[in-house]
Structure 1
Amino acid sequence: MNILVTGGAGFIGRWVVDQLLNDGHRVWVLDDLSNGRVENLEDMKTNKNFMGLIEGDVKDIRILNHLFTKQFDICYHLAASINVQDSIDNPKGTFYNDVIGTFNILEQCRRRNVKVVFMSTCMVYDQARGEEGINEMNQVKPTSPYAGSKLAGENIVLSYYYAYGLPVTVIRPFNTYGPYQKTGGEGGVVAIFLKNMLAGKPLEIYGDGTQTRDLLYVEDCARLFVKAGYSHQVDGEIVNAGLGSDVSINKLAELIVKDEAYIKHVEHIHPQSEIPKLLCDYRKASELLDWGPEYSLETGIKKTEEWIRSTKLI
């Protein structure tokens, strides 16, 4: 198939591209490189089915008009503003990228009947209650403009399914981590903790550290995202992706650094957008796509640590 991946030079995006190429498809990447990096796609440039990286913005209609002459079969839409703090500081930028950009992609796909797989986030949810995981019917509670923009994106994506019959799927991944994730301020907690541990720096935990996260290894996330594009079973559906178990940030820090003297609690930078408990119920993905996570938290942390060591990011 001919496939477009927006945001394909980003952390999760490059794994989606890798999976699609391994499956034998021709893949184009559109990325403005605000979050993505050209280096993330370096390994794929020699693949004859990698059709190139187009440096451009999903808000640029001219670029989209030209690109969509390629007659795509599927569009995996990951291009977005992804940083919660940035969305609080600059809600307009996040809204334009995540809502207007998504609308532009949908319009192109509607004209050509291209399936859309939309990358949302678990940040749209209210917290998990007790030991019950969050399923797709769980209450939503967008506590940041980032979550609000993603929820708006989801709704407009699903509206194209109901109004036009366009095949679309919304994926809500839980906290995804792994190789190629940034290890700085915009990175995830696992990557930042590992980088600090390897550099002999303290692991800083926001607040009391009792907040929990369901941590999903990136290759598992990409595998589900790609499978959703292949299957009509999930057309018009919202589907969770997660490990199915959660860990407190305190416990995560203890897994990564053995000496508790290197664990430091600091004031929360955006406590109003903190979700106390995130735990995924991925039964829908299991039933409709025969998907389940293959990597344990311990294995995923080990693979991520090996990657950080190999890239000398410390």
Structure 2
Amino acid sequence: MKVLVTGGTGFIGRWVVKKLLDDHHDVWILDNLANSKKTNINEFKSHIHLKSFIQGDIKDEKTLEELFQRVQFDICYHLAASINVQDSIDDPKTTFENDVTGTFNVLEQCKRNDVKIVFMSTCMVYDRAIKPSGISELDMVKPASPYAGSKIAAENMVLSYYYSYGLPVVVVRPFNTYGPFQKTGGEGGVVAIFINNKLDGKLLSIYGDGKQTRDLLYVEDCADFVVTAGYLDKANGHIINAGTGKDISINDLAMLVSKNPAAIKHIPHIHPQSEIQKLLCNYSKAKELLDWEPKISLEDGIKRTEEWIKFTKEPSNKEN
């Protein structure tokens, strides 16, 4: 197939690109590099199936129109977005423009050119998990941040194109994804930040009491899920979760990473109103519809992530 990946140089995006290339599809990447870097795809730059990297913005209708006119895509994996919850509270306008208006622009091109779209949403649209089985796609959503609100709005717009125009669409909601190529600074995920701080001999800072839980999904499992959702027609029109079905408190995660209680400190939450206290995924729909299950355990995923972060810290690599 001919595949467009928006946000393809981002953390999850580059793994989606890798999976598509491994499956021998021709891939085009569109990314404005606002939240990523082109070096994330250096591994693929000579790959026969990576056709083009376009530095461009999904808010630029002309760039999108020219790209869709030049290439008759079979499918678009739409991952480009503002993804930081705290930033969305401080600057909701930017998040809305990227996540809602940008998604509308991509949708319009997909409709005009009859291109299936897989829309990357998030578990942050949900309210806290109450049932022992975890959060299913039928559970309540709660826009606790402008990020969550923008993703819910974009999801509804995507699904409206399925019902109004018959456009093949899938909405995917991965739970908290971590792994190699995730940022290790303020905009990164908790696993990457904890590992990086441990390696640097810094304290692992936890917002609030640390009792909040997360269902942590390794990035290659996430990419496999996202790509598979695009392959199967029976997923069209559906919202689908992906996670491990196991959650861990941030306190326990910090101990798993550091093995040292003295290296952990608690700090006041910047935006406590946006915190979801319990995130636990029920991925039974993904298993039934896509025959998908996670393969990498949290312990193995943390080990792989730490090895990658260590490698990127090597002096010889810093100079390159």
Aligned to 1:132: 133
Amino acid paired to 2:25? H
Q: Return the alpha-carbon distance in structure 1 between the equivalents of residues 211 and 133 of structure 2.
A: 17
Cα pair 1:213 1:247 within 8 Å, conserved? yes
Q: Return the alpha-carbon distance in structure 2 between the equivalents of residues 60 and 95 of structure 1.
A: 15
Structure 1 residue 64 corresponds to structure 2 residue 56: no
Q: Return the alpha-carbon distance in structure 2 between the equivalents of residues 227 and 269 of structure 1.
A: 37
- TM-aligned CA deviation for residue 313 of structure 1: 7.5
Aligned to 2:206: 205
Amino acid paired to 1:67? L
Amino acid paired to 1:62? K
Q: Return the alpha-carbon distance in structure 2 between the equivalents of residues 259 and 24 of structure 1.
A: 45
Aligned to 1:164: 165
Q: Return the alpha-carbon distance in structure 1 between the equivalents of residues 282 and 124 of structure 2.
A: 14
Amino acid paired to 1:49? H
Aligned to 2:235: 234
Aligned to 1:312: 313
Q: How does 1:233-272 map to 2 (within 5 A)?
A: 233-272=234-273
Amino acid paired to 2:301? G
Cα pair 1:181 1:187 within 8 Å, conserved? yes
Q: How does 1:288-299 map to 2 (within 5 A)?
A: 288-299=289-300
Amino acid paired to 1:81? S
Aligned to 1:47: 47
Q: Return the alpha-carbon distance in structure 1 between the equivalents of residues 140 and 21 of structure 2.
A: 36
Determine helix, strand or coil for the equivalent of 2:254.
helix
Determine helix, strand or coil for the equivalent of 1:86.
helix
Determine helix, strand or coil for the equivalent of 1:184.
coil
Cα pair 1:195 1:313 within 8 Å, conserved? no
TM-score (normalised: structure 1): 0.99
Cα pair 1:136 1:238 within 8 Å, conserved? yes
Aligned to 1:19: 19
Aligned to 2:153: 152
- TM-aligned CA deviation for residue 244 of structure 1: 0.7
Cα pair 1:213 1:249 within 8 Å, conserved? yes
Cα pair 1:8 1:36 within 8 Å, conserved? no
Post-superposition CA distance 1:79-125 (Å, at most 9, x none): 00001111001101000000000000000000111000000000000
Q: Return the alpha-carbon distance in structure 2 between the equivalents of residues 142 and 42 of structure 1.
A: 36
Determine helix, strand or coil for the equivalent of 1:138.
coil
Q: Return the alpha-carbon distance in structure 2 between the equivalents of residues 152 and 34 of structure 1.
A: 22
Q: Return the alpha-carbon distance in structure 2 between the equivalents of residues 62 and 140 of structure 1.
A: 34
Aligned to 1:33: 33
Aligned to 2:223: 222
- TM-aligned CA deviation for residue 15 of structure 1: 0.1
CA 53–271 in structure 1, closer or farther in 2 if over 3 Å, else same: same
Determine helix, strand or coil for the equivalent of 1:79.
coil
Q: Return the alpha-carbon distance in structure 2 between the equivalents of residues 36 and 202 of structure 1.
A: 26
Post-superposition CA distance 1:221-268 (Å, at most 9, x none): 000100011101110000001011000000000001111110000000
Post-superposition CA distance 1:124-183 (Å, at most 9, x none): 000001423000000000100000000000000000000000000000010000000000
Aligned pair count reads 314
Amino acid paired to 2:287? S
CA 283–202 in structure 1, closer or farther in 2 if over 3 Å, else same: same
CA 74–313 in structure 1, closer or farther in 2 if over 3 Å, else same: farther
- TM-aligned CA deviation for residue 56 of structure 1: 0.4
Aligned to 2:318: none
Q: RMSD between aligned alpha carbons?
A: 0.9
Q: Return the alpha-carbon distance in structure 2 between the equivalents of residues 302 and 52 of structure 1.
A: 33
Determine helix, strand or coil for the equivalent of 1:208.
coil
Q: Return the alpha-carbon distance in structure 1 between the equivalents of residues 222 and 73 of structure 2.
A: 22
CA 201–287 in structure 1, closer or farther in 2 if over 3 Å, else same: same
Aligned to 2:2: 2
Amino acid paired to 2:186? G
Determine helix, strand or coil for the equivalent of 2:245.
coil
